[in-house]
Chains A and B, each alone.
Chain A
């Protein structure tokens, strides 16, 4: 078990190193950092001196090691566009994106899991077929269209909810949260639904497929043959076995939620990391792009490590040693 976790940890470190390498290559090879940092009036000699100071003439590996080392110490360099430290820029934006992502993920789980279970247990019912058809449309409508439709309906036509920004926020130890004001929650509703709908349909369809597979298994048939009460059969026996593959995919989805928040943030002018990333692409602000990449990958890897531990908690086959 410890070995299983350790193996995953090593894989995670590999993924992070690879992403860091990607970010570094971006920084180093896409455009010349010196010309980006200096103006036209800087002399060639000054440019060379700066190049030497920054260590850009060192061997590639040395530069990469230094780059990684700096990152580990929280030094992410400076933005070409704003000349601010990238670390600060990103850190300011993380709470907005994370809060949005978590609420969206919760929506997708709270609605998606029960809907998946229901459609698996009554596959031929009218309600199930309707839900399935709706979700099919759900995966087919681009996130930005859902956003526009929600804005149009609840923002423009009905005027119930705000259509841009975070509304009122509260500072809690450097974390700017919209969870503590009514205004903040009102602003959060539409973007979170927009972001959650796509994940919801995925979750639902996955739960349904896995649940149907489990319901067909021998141990469910055997439990039925023993007369185990239906409720217990569905929720204790079947659902638990369904959740093992489901949590893996949800872990993978979390990355998708954070990434797709780029679109949602753009539609709702939500001041998160995604919006920052979009701006940095428009201005070819390579350091910000690279750091965003590393941060996203870090969240992804972290969530998947947590998923692996959940796995161990749920599945005794990973927890207890086999007997002969």
Chain B
């Protein structure tokens, strides 16, 4: 029904035209969910934008055909193309928070769209809108429809978005990362809804995503893209289960499995960022190992509670207080990795901020090694824990100062903690450290924006390690990275942990990643610990119902697809 042939899209720039996608071929049948998978920069979203005719300026279609049924979409005038939008093709965006006009009720937005595309009365459109919301799973639709978008929760809002895409009965819906901004439970509901719509209404979906688990779960067919080109296409089980192209093979190897723990990721054939040097940072390793020869340091937390005062909204009511951490106690054994999983709002990041002294807890005690770890307000700038405990952040685009050179960023812990007092020596050590984390030594005079996300994360890890820490907190260190890069960074962290006897608190929302990293596990929900214990035991025999639900909802691949 939708046929794309030899499609190329270019973006003019001051260095000449940049090709975003090249010779893309794609076919989608009615009722089919077609997964378009690839890592960032693959050009997936450009394909979707080209189909619906909304390529961002100044990009243009250089060549190729796009036909929907009998209609040649490229031959349409702008007015005709606009009439097709919504009527025959519709789209779902990634972030339900920003996809809806905040100033119009859901009802207004639905009725407006329905009346645009079919000549029905207001009352008729209203009825259709209510029915649609019911169908999509919004209870009490006749009443809820009068609400504004901000009055819906994230998952409900994405349902409203889907209803809007659906209300004109299109033949094809382009879903661009429709579940990426959602928690796993909500993701599951939305995926089920898409599957159901494809089956019942015979709507075709172009499902654009970076998440192979999502594709594995609901896509009938899949196309793999890389650097603007389609590499492989076919039945999902065929392409992902028996990948032919080396890139697809590598990609599948990098996906962390949920059902067992692998010692190390098999790195993709072409490790395009890690530099293989002869010395492998021997100097840095020697210097780090020459530090104080103490045993690994553990951490324990007793009855930690963190309450936030809400913002005041009324004169008479007291502002609601929100408990982000509720009586949390746990121990991280020296020299091990503690995995901490939970959905958004479970208190994971709050815990990291309390431990590092960025937030002052309402109650509770913390111990690092043998010493009491004072809470934020009592922790002086010179407290030993400032050095002993370091952190790797989620977003490597934000954790490195964009205006500082890599050399200055890496030298900071060295002079701040008085570890190396000679500037020349600091520079030499920083270069050796770059080598150790697989970065070229000449990175030292560059700025962060000259590196990719994975490279920046390596630099961020290097900065943390240069403080000679005993305890490392990793807050979602790979969730902003592509899956192949994630595998590399996870390998790096495992290596460093083993070499330097680090103790790590590894925070993640991804159960599969947690299983690959953790020795022990904590499952956090609404600020409370649901379950804790040795990792393998917890994954194979989860005790808490919540852990079981999480494991059940996490998209996974059939074990027989795995080659490793």
Indicate whether A and B are direct neighbours in the complex (CB within 8 Å): yes
A positions within 8 Å CB-CB of B: 2-4, 6, 217-219, 221-230, 232, 236-237, 240-241, 314-317, 320-324
Query: Given A3-B312, A228-B113: A222 and B161 within 8 A (CB)?
Result: yes
Chain A positions within 8 Å of B164 at CB level: 222, 226
**Contact check: which of B104, B150, B314, B315 meets A237 at CB < 8 Å?**
B104
0 or 1 for each of B80-120: is its CB under 8 Å from A? (1 = yes)? 00111111001101010011111111000100110011000
Instruction: Indicate if the CB atoms of B85 and A6 lie closer than 8 Å.
Output: no
- In the complex formed, the residue of B with least CB distance to A219 is B101
Name the 8 nearest CB pairs between A and B, nearest first.
A227-B86, A225-B91, A227-B85, A226-B86, A218-B98, A323-B151, A316-B148, A219-B101
Chain A positions within 8 Å of B161 at CB level: 222
Chain A positions within 8 Å of B457 at CB level: none
Chain B positions within 8 Å of A224 at CB level: 54, 82, 85
- In the complex formed, the residue of A with least CB distance to B78 is A230
- In the complex formed, the residue of B with least CB distance to A244 is B103
**Contact check: which of B85, B105, B150, B313 meets A226 at CB < 8 Å?**
B85
Instruction: Indicate if the CB atoms of A323 and B153 lie closer than 8 Å.
Output: yes
Interface of A is mostly: helix
Chain A positions within 8 Å of B90 at CB level: 225-226
Instruction: Indicate if the CB atoms of B98 and A217 lie closer than 8 Å.
Output: yes
Query: Given A3-B313, A3-B315, A230-B82: A222 and B95 within 8 A (CB)?
Result: no
Chain B positions within 8 Å of A4 at CB level: 313
Give bound CA distance, A32 to B314, whole Å: 47
- In the complex formed, the residue of A with least CB distance to B167 is A226
Give bound CA distance, A322 to B150, whole Å: 7
Instruction: Indicate if the CB atoms of B95 and A218 lie closer than 8 Å.
Output: yes
What are 16 of the A-B contact pairs (CB < 8 Å)? A3-B314, A218-B98, A219-B102, A222-B93, A223-B109, A224-B85, A226-B85, A227-B84, A227-B87, A227-B117, A228-B116, A236-B104, A237-B104, A315-B102, A316-B103, A321-B313
Instruction: Indicate if the CB atoms of B85 and A241 lie closer than 8 Å.
Output: no
B397 CB–A CB distance under 8 Å: no
B351 CB–A CB distance under 8 Å: no
Instruction: Indicate if the CB atoms of B113 and A225 lie closer than 8 Å.
Output: no
Instruction: Indicate if the CB atoms of A223 and B315 lie closer than 8 Å.
Output: no
Instruction: Indicate if the CB atoms of A241 and B315 lie closer than 8 Å.
Output: no
- In the complex formed, the residue of B with least CB distance to A227 is B86
Give bound CA distance, A149 to B103, whole Å: 44
Instruction: Indicate if the CB atoms of A225 and B103 lie closer than 8 Å.
Output: no
- In the complex formed, the residue of B with least CB distance to A316 is B148
Instruction: Indicate if the CB atoms of A2 and B85 lie closer than 8 Å.
Output: no
Instruction: Indicate if the CB atoms of B98 and A226 lie closer than 8 Å.
Output: no
CB distance from B164 to the nearest CB of A (A): 6
B147 CB–A CB distance under 8 Å: yes
Give bound CA distance, A314 to B52, whole Å: 32
0 or 1 for each of B116-155: is its CB under 8 Å from A? (1 = yes)? 1100000000000000000000000000000110111100
Give bound CA distance, A219 to B113, whole Å: 13
B168 CB–A CB distance under 8 Å: yes
Chain A positions within 8 Å of B99 at CB level: 218-219, 222
CB distance from B319 to the nearest CB of A (A): 10
Residue from A219, A227, A230 having most chain B Cβ neighbours under 10 A: A227
Give bound CA distance, A236 to B54, whole Å: 20
From 293 to 334 in chain B, residues with beta carbon under 8 angstroms from any chain A beta carbon are 312-315
- In the complex formed, the residue of A with least CB distance to B316 is A3
CB distance from A202 to the nearest CB of B (A): 24
Since A219-B101, A227-B83 are in contact, a sample of 8 more A-B pairs with Cβ atoms closer than 8 Å, ordered by chain A residue number, is: A219-B102, A222-B99, A226-B85, A227-B84, A240-B103, A320-B147, A320-B150, A323-B152
CB distance from B14 to the nearest CB of A (A): 16
B487 CB–A CB distance under 8 Å: no
Give bound CA distance, A6 to B313, whole Å: 11
